[in-house]
Structure 1
Amino acid sequence: MNIPESEQFKALFYEHYPIVRRKLAALVRDDTAADDLAQEVFLKLYRNPPDDPGALGAWLHRVLTRAGYDYLSKKASERRLQDKQELLFQAEPSPPSGEEAVLNKLDQEDVRVWLDELPERDRQALLLRYSGYSYSEIAGELGIRPPVVGTLLSRATQKLRQHAAESLPQPD
């Protein structure tokens, strides 16, 4: 089927455009988008018509359905991205108050004191782990076998908790 002759294409356009647009409007539920998508469908028809003129209706239906689903998929992706951005915007913490900043600084100083009370290897292991190092990277830094890292971290954490518990005031 070789459609691009202007009169023949114009006749097909006027005959099928209302149906294509109506189906797209029902699919995407947006009249403006349906107009744009219908134009895309007829552009595809103009550029790459089906080989069989008898299959034009089925071809148009297949192309309009694909265009509609692609549009809906794109809109869903945009909505998900917008939702993520809104969540991130809402999750941004407010700057700490003066009192919170002082308490955080005191907490950090307490943790530094407790860390200083640990043996060097335990302190290094904990600092590396909380700096984002993997177990294999920690093993390489400390010169130990990777399977030992988990045990070392567990024991170091237990010692840190013990120092913290001993340092905190006990209730009467």
Structure 2
Amino acid sequence: MKIPESNPFRSIFYEHYPIVRRKLVALVRDDAAADDLAQDVFLKLYRNPPDDPAAVGAWLHRVLTRVGYDYMDKLARERRLQNKQELYFEGDVLLQSGEEALLRKMDQEEVREWLDTLPERDRQVLLLRYSGYSYAEIAHELNVRPPVVGTLISRATEKLRQSAVKTMSPSEIKS
């Protein structure tokens, strides 16, 4: 079957749309989603009709089932991702005592002070690297060649370590 002409396609649409939509509502249990999915099914029919025009009903049923299951799989993946994110963020907050949160904040402030002693370029390279940027992205941000980034990070890390050692007491350095 070739791409349907508007009148035959229109008659197929009016005949089968209520059935397709009703089956999708029963499958996904969401009226608005079923409307969108039914449109997708008929768009697929318009773009890629079955070879046998007599098999349109079976073809629509097979496609609507696949589209409905794909939609439900997508929702399940999104729910799992959201649950993981909620557990991660809630777990991080719940597991910290007030003392642990205070110590973490003090450590962050101390690292910021050490970073402030570094030259601007070294501070930037470390912040970009530990913010998850790739070497190529860091090279682009700092307007340097990518092979130089590793050296810049290494040198900046060593300067940061030296800055930390200068401000620490001898008892802190041993532990």
Please give the TM-score of this superposition, normalised by the length of structure 1: 0.53
Pair 1:169-2:173 in alignment: yes
The alpha-carbon deviation at position 66 of structure 1 amounts to: 1.0
CA 1:82–1:137 in 2, change beyond 3 Å: closer, same or farther?
A: same
Q: Greater CA deviation, 126-135 or 155-164?
A: 126-135
**1:98 Cα offset (Å):** 2.3
Q: Which residue does the alignment assign to 2:138?
A: 135
Question: How much has 1:107 moved relative to structure 2?
Answer: 1.0
Identity %: 40
TM-score computed with the length of structure 2 as normaliser: 0.52
1:158 aligns to what SS in structure 2?
A: helix
Corresponding residue for residue 70 of structure 2: 73
Partners of 1:99 and 1:111 lie apart in 2 by 18
1:115 aligned partner: 115
Paired with 2:128 and 2:53, the residues of 1 have a C-alpha distance of 67
Rg comparison, structure with higher value: 1
1:147-162 alignment to 2 at 5 Å? 147-162=147-162
CA contact (8 A) 1:118 1:159 kept: yes
Q: Which amino acid aligns with 1:66?
A: V
CA shift in 2, pair 1:91/1:114, >3 Å: same
Q: 1:33 to 1:101 in 2, by over 3 A?
A: closer
In 1, Cα distance between equivalents of 2:27 and 2:124: 59
Structure 1: gaps spanning 5 or more residues: 10-16, 18-24
Rounded to whole Å, the distance in 1 between the matches of 2:142 and 2:27 is 58
Partner of 2:105: 105
Report the number of matched residues. Answer: 131
Per-residue CA shift, 1:76-127, capped at 9, x if unaligned?
Answer: 1111111112222222232643212321232123323433554564334324
In 1, Cα distance between equivalents of 2:62 and 2:122? 63
Equivalent residues in 2 for 1:6-21, closer than 5 Å: none
Amino acid at match of 1:170: K
How many angstroms apart in 2 are the aligned matches of 1:129 and 1:88? 23
C-alpha distance 159-74 of structure 1, shift in aligned 2 (>3 A) = same
4+ residue runs of structure 1 moved beyond 6 angstroms? none
CA separation of 1:145 and 1:75: change in aligned 2, threshold 3 A:
closer
Q: Which moved more, 1:58-67 or 1:155-164?
A: 155-164
Q: Matches of 1:125 and 1:85 in 2, distance apart?
A: 32
Which one-letter code corresponds to 2:174 in the other structure?
Q
**Cα RMSD for the two superposed structures:** 4.3
Give the Cα separation in 1 of the matches to 2:128 and 2:66.
49
Paired AA for residue 33 in structure 1: L
Q: 1:132 to 1:138 in 2, by over 3 A?
A: farther
Q: Distance in 1 between matches of 2:120 and 2:78?
A: 46
Equivalent residue letter for 1:67: L
In 2, Cα distance between equivalents of 1:121 and 1:77: 43
Moved more, 72-81 or 123-132: 123-132
Aligned to 1:85: 82
